[in-house]
Amino acid sequence: MSAKCNKNDFGYSDLQNPLFLHPFEGLGALSIQDKLIGARNHRSWRRNMEIGLTTKRKLGFVQGIVLRPTDDPSKSEMWHTCNSMIIAWITNSVSDSIGKSILNSARENWLQLE
C-alpha cells in the first residue's frame, strides 16, 4: 500500500536540497558574531560565514556550485529566493559601509568581498 503525497509533504531528501529554504530561515537565521569591517578581520569573518552557510546547505551558492536552474521555472524561483536570502545574510554580517556596496548575486558579492 502506497501513501498518498500532496504538495505540502516533504521528505528528508528535500531537506538536503540546497534550494530548500525552511520557513524559519529568515533574516536572523544566520547570525555572525563579528561583522566584516575590512581586510583585518576578513579571514575570520569568511570562516564564520562558511560555517554558517554550510549549516544551512547554502555554501554552494557563494562558491558558484549551485547555479540557477534554467530548465525549470519553479526551481529557478527557488534558487532566486535562496540567493536573495543569502545576500541578506551577507549584508547583515558586514559593516554598514560595506553593506551599501552589496547589490549582485551571492556569488558575485562573495568574490567582491574577497
User: pLDDT per residue over 45-59, tens digit each?
Assistant: 999 999 999 999 999
> What's the whole-model pTM score?
0.85
CB neighbourhood size of 92 (10 A): 14
φ/ψ bin of 38: left (φ > 0), alpha (ψ from -120 to 50), beta (otherwise): left
Closest by CA position to 110, among listed 44, 64, 54: 64
Mean pLDDT (the chain, rounded): 88
- Residue 1: pLDDT above 80? no
User: pLDDT per residue over 59-74, tens digit each?
Assistant: 999 999 999 999 999 9
Three-state DSSP class for residue 54:
helix
pLDDT of residue 24: 86
